[in-house]
Structure formats: structure tokens, C-alpha cells
Amino acid sequence: MPISRYGFARSASVSALIDRRDARRIIVGPDFGISFTLKGQAFGGVRIANLSPEGCFALMGKREAGLFKRGAVLECLLLLHPDLPKTPVLAEVCHVLRGPAAEPLDIVGIGIHFLNMDEPSRKLLDAWVDAAMAMP
């Protein structure tokens, strides 16, 4: 199985998921984060690595990563950046990148899909992504 430049093995099923994702993703800096609740546990200030109008990619420590399974529902997700919408949304974990079982990663990547973002927030996020993509 080939290894991607990011160090993760890519299977045919992962490639298929990647091909269906929104290509309009923006890599974001350390001042971007999210907060949410999962199974009654609050998570705040979770760093995100990229953002699109449909979701984001969060970075979690391996201690908390066991709670994040594909299909897990994240309640009251908030985007923590002054330029982004402030309306809480329901979201779902769509993929988890843990690394090989023999060598687990210290940081686990969590792909998150926004489920019920209201139309004004979606338009604001969409416009923000377009503006960020237009920057040199």
C-alpha cells in the first residue's frame, strides 16, 4: 500500500473518500479552532488544520482520540475565529487518521462534516473560503 507524503497509508477506500471531498479547502494557521460536545464531554480550543464550507480537519491528542469514531456526532460545534460564523452546528466525524496500530501517532486527525449549518452561516463561510483562496 503506498504511503502518502503525509505519512499515512492510502487505501482505495480512502482515495475514494478524498475524491468526493470539497476541493475548496483552506489550510489554516494556529489561530483557528473549534469547540464542541461529544458524548457529554466538552472540547474547547481544538486546533483545525484546514477548513471548507462543508467541514474541517481537527487535530486531537491520542488520549482523547478513542472517543472519535466514524459517525460520532459532535454537538454545538463552534468555529473559533473572529472572521467565521458564530452559529453552533451539528457535525459528524467522517474519518479518523490514527496511523498504523504498531506505531500510533501522538496527534490524530479527525475529518469533520458540518450537518446543519444555517444558510446565512453557510454563505458567510463560503464567501470567507472564496476570499482566502483569492489571496496570493
Residue 32 to residues 45, 46, 48, 84, Cα–Cα distance (Å) = 9, 8, 6, 10
What one-letter code names the amino acid at 114? F
What are residue 79's phi and psi, to 5 degrees?
-85, 125
- Is the pLDDT at 4 greater than 90? The verdict is no
pLDDT given at position 34? 98
Fold of 25-134: Thrombin, subunit H (2.40.10)
- Is the pLDDT at 16 greater than 80? The verdict is no
So where are the chain's domains? 25-134
Determine the Cα–Cα distance for residues 68 and 99; give it in Å rounded to an integer.
14
